[in-house]
Structure 1
Amino acid sequence: MLFRLSVLSLALLLIGAVHSSPAFAQAEEQAAEQAEEQAASYSRRGADGCIGCHRRWEVPLMGIFETPHGNPHDPRSPFGEKQLQCEACHGPGDAHGGRVARGDPRPPIINFGSDAWTPIPQQNAMCLQCHEGHVGEQWAGSAHDVNTVACADCHSSHPVKDPMLDKRTQSEACYACHANVEAHFMKPSAHPVRQGQVGCTDCHKPHGSDADGLLVRSTVNETCFTCHAEKRGPLVWEHAPVVEDCSNCHDPHGAVHPAMLTRRPPLLCQSCHTPSGHPSVPYDSNDLATGSASPFLLSGNCLSCHTQVHGSNHPSGKALMR
């Protein structure tokens, strides 16, 4: 009899240990979440129920029917694959759109954007359900992901055209966070972003990149060469700072100096090259008159002689003068 009681006590202890383990608690939590999701039901009216209220608000809702998201005949579309329409992205909305007692809050559904109640990781996970193939591998651990940027902060699903797909409007989405870059593009010498000829995504990959600054290529120079192929080389006589990094001399977002230079020549050149002993340096006031100093000193620009500043292929181009 004593032996039977001991076995029973041991069994009860083991059952208690299993139920108190973290793994069991996690499994219970997941089961509860699944039960809650199953309890949530989709509305029978679909988008018709949403439009009844939302088209009267200041929400660009109706345009979604002219976008890939709202195409019911495309199996890749949220409106086409499961025929869940708005609820394919916003989740079950039967309780949200149903009748509620006066004064009671309406049950929320998934909403998008940094100001929405839905946690940003949950928002982005909803987008990645469809866009995992071309975004997910880059996005995980990227600068924007780490800084909890929501997909909806940059992209809009409802307008006929996503602003990120138009070079004229895509920069406005970026400027919402990168106001300092907007200031650079307002400078006299800048890439034609304001004119809509160049977009931020011509140089940067917003969803993630292995390069610094989310560049589209592995280095600054390789990124610049996608447009400025004539500067690529190889060259017989190379200018060391040019080969190292274009941004040694140029500010890619814009500058107050011509050609987006970080400083005006000769100050830019003299940040590396000392003028001591150079023909352009007069030793006294008579050197200009006698011709012992170069008359190009008056122009104040090293490029007056060293025209091939990016490099030269001429056999005698060691000084980048031809």
Structure 2
Amino acid sequence: MSLTKITKKQALALSCLFVIPTISAKPLQPTQQLLQDKFIAGKYSTKGADSCLMCHAKSDTVMALFAGAHGNTASSDGPMAQLHCESCHGPQGKHKGKNEPMIAFGADGNVSAELQNTVCLSCHQDNERLAWHDSVHVDADVSCVSCHQVHAANDTILARNQQNAVCSRCHTEQRAAMHKRSSHPLENNAMVCGDCHTPHGSLSEAALKQPSVNDSCFECHAEMRGPFLWEHEAVVDDCSNCHNPHGSVNDNLLTRKAPQLCQNCHQPDGHQFNVEPTDGNVFTTGQSCLNCHNQIHGSNHPSGNYLRK
């Protein structure tokens, strides 16, 4: 496979376009220090990918790159229009012949997740990733390739019917919740994690796409938004006060059954608070508190101050 060669002058010009990764002030491992120095020196190959493929063309994993966006030789925005393989793996330097290391990605990579990610961010820096450096994934030292596939025709996590499976490899608690008797339709991929969360970070809690938990819920549950004449403070505060969005063993994603859920906030006020199954106890029949207070999300009825109408 022959690709367009680049001249030394072009390599020098392109290296200026490529952001040299910056890493933390922690002492670097010898290999990582070497690779950092190679970036600064900028000794790119004048033959580009042709030089790499002389040795690596027999690898199916390597060649799979050319089936995807990163290996598209016709794209002016992709690595192959810039420094070819070296756009991501760094300057070749003395790699050919003397086996000097180049950047290897993944869990078994020879550099930290932080440095791996700066390589990706040198091109993928846009509005969707403005909050990446403060995201929970960065705090957990998650690298981009932990979720994304570069040497592939299609990136699995970008496929809607496979996204939940990729996310739940790490988020096992949420994976268990989505299989509970009451849950959002995550198991059958009618909903995906990206409908509510942005994996590249956000200014909201839990990497939510919307400013708050309630705003996220109202995207689908608009009838709960209000404004209501009579409001339920717990609902106004946070939907997750009562609901577990990923799944629950209780109906309607409730974190606990009534009346215990209601009694987290409402203390005895004249009702029969005996939860034993006796006749006449309003808490042991039907929907417990909701037998009477059935407009629990809010009421616009003139006499609905107790959320009963």
TM-score by length of 1: 0.74
Letter of the 2:139 partner, please give it.
V
Distance between the aligned counterparts of 2:210 and 2:39, measured in 1?
Answer: 46
Distance between the aligned counterparts of 1:311 and 1:302, measured in 2?
Answer: 15
For residues 5-36 of structure 1, what are the alpha-carbon distances to aligned partners after superposition, in whole Å with 9 as ceiling and x for unaligned? xxxxxxxxxxxxxxxxxxxxxxxx99x93697
Letter of the 1:321 partner, please give it.
R
Give the total of aligned pairs.
Answer: 274
Query: In the alignment, which of 259, 262, 275 is matched to residue 255 of structure 2?
Result: 262
Change (3 A) 1:315 1:153: same
Counting only pairs closer than 5 Å after superposition, residues 73-88 of structure 1 correspond to structure 2 as: 73-80=74-81, 82=82, 84-88=83-87
- The equivalent residue for 2:5 is none
Query: In the alignment, which of 270, 285, 288 is matched to residue 298 of structure 1?
Result: 285
Counting only pairs closer than 5 Å after superposition, residues 183-262 of structure 1 correspond to structure 2 as: 183-262=176-255
Change (3 A) 1:137 1:295: closer
Letter of the 1:229 partner, please give it.
A
- The equivalent residue for 1:15 is none
Letter of the 1:88 partner, please give it.
S
Please say if 1:91 is aligned against 2:90.
yes
For residues 215-267 of structure 1, what are the alpha-carbon distances to aligned partners after superposition, in whole Å with 9 as ceiling and x for unaligned? 11221111111121111110111111111110111011111001110111222
- The equivalent residue for 2:14 is none
Q: Contact 1:46–1:86 (CA<8 Å) still a contact in 2?
A: no
Structure 2 unaligned regions, length at least 5: 1-32
Q: Contact 1:185–1:254 (CA<8 Å) still a contact in 2?
A: yes
Distance between the aligned counterparts of 1:277 and 1:219, measured in 2?
Answer: 36
Query: In the alignment, which of 37, 40, 45 is matched to residue 41 of structure 1?
Result: 45
- The equivalent residue for 1:277 is 270
- The equivalent residue for 2:58 is 53
State the secondary structure of the residue aligned to 1:235: coil
State the secondary structure of the residue aligned to 1:155: coil
Structure 1 unaligned regions, length at least 5: 1-28, 101-105
- The equivalent residue for 1:155 is 148
- The equivalent residue for 2:13 is none
1:120: how far off? 1.9
State the secondary structure of the residue aligned to 1:49: helix
Change (3 A) 1:259 1:49: farther
Distance between the aligned counterparts of 1:231 and 1:38, measured in 2?
Answer: 57
TM-score by length of 2: 0.77
Distance between the aligned counterparts of 1:34 and 1:87, measured in 2?
Answer: 11
State the secondary structure of the residue aligned to 1:234: coil
State the secondary structure of the residue aligned to 2:45: coil
Q: Contact 2:259–2:283 (CA<8 Å) still a contact in 1?
A: no
Bigger fraction of residues in helix: 1
1:53: how far off? 2.6
Q: Contact 1:188–1:254 (CA<8 Å) still a contact in 2?
A: yes
Q: Contact 1:280–1:297 (CA<8 Å) still a contact in 2?
A: no
Q: Contact 1:236–1:314 (CA<8 Å) still a contact in 2?
A: yes
Higher RCO structure (Cα 8 Å, ≥6 apart): 2
For residues 263-291 of structure 1, what are the alpha-carbon distances to aligned partners after superposition, in whole Å with 9 as ceiling and x for unaligned? 11222223323455338979xx7xx5xxx
- The equivalent residue for 1:16 is none
